[in-house]
Amino acid sequence: MQSWTNYHSHCHYCDGKYAPEIHIKAALQQGVKIYGFSSHSPLFVPTTWNMKMERLKDYLQEINRLKEQYQADIQIYTGMEVDFIPGSTQVDSPYIQEAGLDYTIGSIHFVDSFADGTPWEVDGGHQLFLKGLKDIFDGNVQQAIKRYFERTREMLQTACPDVLGHMDKIKIQCEEGQLFSENEDWYREEVLATLEVAQQSGVIIEVNTRGVYKKKLPDAYPSRWILEEILKLDIPVMLNADSHHPDEITANFSESASMLQDIGFKTFRILHQNKWQDVPFTSEGLFIP
């Protein structure tokens, strides 16, 4: 029997909706057999979407309780989506290491800082993106995008997570190709350089469906042409929803799995019985042993 997995999820401990148990019940209804919680890690900069440090202990305890309560029905894993802010937060920061996580997702949400020291959030509102582009990079979009991918490579080389989250999320700011285009040589060079580092690091690259089911993008993170390069480099992938609501846990999974099959992928890498394993899949789900 085939079933789904999802390791990128958010609940009410960060910017997601509802308590963790509600997500588990929804996951079971959607045919999910392995589920990972990955709340945004606490940060030392103010945001509206990260877990508060004072809630971290409760988060860990609640997920552990659910592991025991639902162990006969579903495998549950404790993770966090960890930002990479050198000198502040990364997957090897003491408070992340001390959490005893089952896995980490490493994502780039911030690139450099404004003059007052405030980190520039690159995947938030577009006006904030444009302000950082103007104030930090003098409007040079190539330099800003290159910095994003440089930061990604720096994370993979110095504090590598288990999973690379939405590796090309910066494309959400492209203004439908008017501000910058994935077809430009300089952009493709940055992506390919990042994939080379990813291959060397051993990281898993997630195929993240959120941009599609939220109707912000025509395809997943990363784009199809990038996935074709990932296959050539034999970098492992997994399918994740980046869900923030119980209804999103398997959103666009069947379509994305079909697309990945069409490209030529045969397996997804999953955390199963506390080990990373490669398992076959179809558009109907994964064959989990």
The pLDDT of residue 1 is 84
Q: What is the DSSP letter of 171?
A: G
Please report the DSSP string for 15-70 in residue order.
TS-S-HHHHHHHHHHTTEEEEEEEEEPP-SS--SSSPPGGGHHHHHHHHHHHHHHT
**Mean pLDDT over the full length of the chain:** 97
pLDDT of residue 198: 98
The H or E element that residue 285 is part of is strand 285-286
| pLDDT over 90, % of the chain | 98
How does pLDDT run across 37-76, given as a tens digit for each residue?
999 999 998 899 999 999 999 999 999 999 999 999 999 9
At 154, the pLDDT band (50, 70, 90 cuts) reads very high
By CB atoms closer than 10 A (0-12, 13-18, 19+), residue 174 is middle
For 112-125, the three-class secondary structure string (H helix, E strand, C coil) is EECCCCCEEECCCC
Q: What is the CATH number of domain 4-286?
A: 3.20.20.140
Using DSSP, state whether 105 is helix, strand or coil. strand
**What number of residues does the chain have?**
289
Please check the confidence at residue 90 and state whether its pLDDT lies above 90: yes
pLDDT at residue 3, as a whole number: 98
Non-local CB neighbours of 162 within 8 Å, separated by 6+ positions? 103, 104, 105, 203, 204, 276
Q: Is residue 270 pLDDT above 90, yes or no?
A: yes
The owner of tokens 């390069």 is 229
**Mean of the pLDDT values across residues 194-201?**
98
- Taking 3-state DSSP, the helix, strand and coil percentages for the chain, each rounded to the nearest 5, stand at 40, 25, 40
Q: What is the mean pLDDT of residues 252-257?
A: 98
pTM of the predicted model, to two decimals?
A: 0.98
Going from N- to C-terminal start, the domains of the chain cover 4-286
Peptide bond preceding 222 in cis form (omega within 30 of 0) = yes
The strand order across the sheet containing 4-6 reads: 4-6, 32-40, 75-83, 103-107, 163-164, 204-208, 237-240
